[in-house]
Amino acid sequence: MSEPIDQNLKSELQKQGIWVTSMQELYNWGRKNSIWPLQFGLACCAIEMIATAASRYDLARFGGEVFRPSPRQADLMIVAGTVTKKMAPQIVRLYNQMPDPKYVISMGACAISGGPFKQGYNVLKGIDRYIPVDVYIPGCPPRPEALLHAFMELQRKIDEQKLTGANKAPHLQADRPSEFPVPAFGAHDLEPPANPDLFHPPVSERLSG
Amino acid sequence: MAPSPYFFLVIFLGVALVFPVLPLVLAWMWRRFFQPPKPGAAKNATYECGIESLGEAQIQFHSQFYLYAIIFLIFDVESIFLIPFAVAFTGLPFGAFVAILVFLLLLLEGLVWAWSKGCLTWAK
């Protein structure tokens, strides 16, 4: 997609003290600098998340310090910690209750894959089985710098979103779902164990010999 | 002609109206024209920390709970009145002393009633 403004002309104008922007840049600039996370923590990663929001690491520098206690006001869900199967339906329901546009950071090994508890009977093996994840942070737990890095990656991602055209942002596409089915408690596992429309793990081919 | 000394109140009234209403109108217009319209069943549902809401919000308490109300009055509300009574004891006129005694007697009667009902015995 071609840029609506010629970059050379833009920088030329900027040297003369004229700042030209587009609606899309202004919109993304505003949104990426005031991402309000949903206030909840699941396990030890939440301690790192709290440290990130506190004064030493200061998430406020990136506009993400306004942790909201209600999903109605939140833009970002930081899945910070082990998602147990007991908790997974609530997480998905909270995600469903967030207004669009909404983003998810999967923080730590547990939220990505179940981490050290992957073999456990009661731990969900990755939150991306039920909701779409934008940024994954490895670590057990990830340090606050890693969460800041994930936050900046998310900001970069928001900055690249298009308002118009075929590949415009998912929340602007009418056919893209905003809510995902909430899993139910089954006899031995959550039903279904993963959302087949969403969960496409990479198939790794084992090297023979 | 000099303006009325109360004219600034009219200005304040106007500011007081415009200040809250204008952001609300702007927010409504923003929602009307720019909000990605994606309502849904879960999104429009009552928020209860991710749990599905159950039953009605307007529930009534049964009249059987009157014993709890009596116990609460005796052991909680009474202390709120007793502490200032004890602090101001030496300076109280006779009428106030009688009034607090009547109050204590009424609550004592409640205590006797609750005791005789077996409320104070620990359920095993």
How far off is chain B from A141, nearest CA to CA, in Å?
25
Residue B110 pLDDT greater than 70, yes or no: yes
Of A144, A141, A106, A142, give the one whose Cα is nearest residue A125.
A106
Closest residue in A to B43 (Cα) is: A97
Give SS3 for A184.
strand
Distance in angstroms (rounded) separating the CA atoms of residues A47 and A105 = 15
Mean pLDDT, rounded, for A79-103: 93
Of A49, A39, A122, A119, give the one whose Cα is nearest residue A81.
A49
Place of tokens 């908790």: A87
Q: How many residues are recorded in chain A?
A: 209
How far off is chain B from A175, nearest CA to CA, in Å?
10
Do A93 and B43 lie within an 8 Å CB cutoff?
no
Quote the mean pLDDT of chain A: 90
Distance in angstroms (rounded) separating the CA atoms of residues A110 and A104 = 15
Residue B118 has what pLDDT?
84
- Which residues in chain B touch residue A171, judged by CB atoms under 8 angstroms apart? 36, 38
Residue A1 has what pLDDT?
44
**pLDDT tens across A110-161, in order?**
999 999 999 989 999 999 999 999 999 999 999 999 999 999 999 999 999 9
Residue A22 has what pLDDT?
85
How far off is chain A from B52, nearest CA to CA, in Å?
9
Distance in angstroms (rounded) separating the CA atoms of residues A186 and A189 = 5
Q: How confident is the model at residue A201 (pLDDT cuts 50, 70, 90)?
A: confident
Closest residue in A to B50 (Cα) is: A90
Which two structure tokens, joined as six digits, stand for B74?
A: 């005796």
**pLDDT tens across A19-69, in order?**
888 888 898 999 999 999 999 999 999 999 999 999 999 999 999 989 999
Decide if A40 contacts A71 (C-beta within 8 A): no
Residue A2 pLDDT greater than 60, yes or no: no
Mean pLDDT, rounded, for B88-103: 90
Q: What is the ipTM of this complex?
A: 0.70
Q: Does B87 touch chain A (CB under 8 A)?
A: no
Q: How confident is the model at residue A4 (pLDDT cuts 50, 70, 90)?
A: low
Do A72 and B47 lie within an 8 Å CB cutoff?
yes
Q: Are strands A135-137 and A184-185 parallel, antiparallel or unpaired?
A: unpaired
- Which residues in chain A touch residue B52, judged by CB atoms under 8 angstroms apart? 93
How far, rounded to the nearest angstrom, does the alpha carbon of residue A45 sit from its chain's CA centroid?
15
Q: Are strands A184-185 and A190-191 parallel, antiparallel or unpaired?
A: antiparallel
Do B38 and A100 lie within an 8 Å CB cutoff?
yes
Count, in order, helices (H) and strands (E) of chain A. 6, 5
Residue A208 has what pLDDT?
63
Provide the chain A residues 160-179 that lie in CB contact (below 8 A) with chain B. 171-172, 178-179
Distance in angstroms (rounded) separating the CA atoms of residues A30 and A44 = 31
Percent of the residues in chain A that have a pLDDT greater than 90, as a whole number: 68
A93: Cα within 13 Å, side-chain hemisphere: 20
**pLDDT tens across B13-41, in order?**
999 999 999 999 999 998 888 777 788 88
Provide the chain A residues 81-100 that lie in CB contact (below 8 A) with chain B. 89-91, 93-94, 96-100
Q: Are strands A135-137 and A76-80 parallel, antiparallel or unpaired?
A: unpaired
Phi, psi angles (nearest 5°) of residue B60 = -110, 145
Distance in angstroms (rounded) separating the CA atoms of residues A183 and B28 = 34
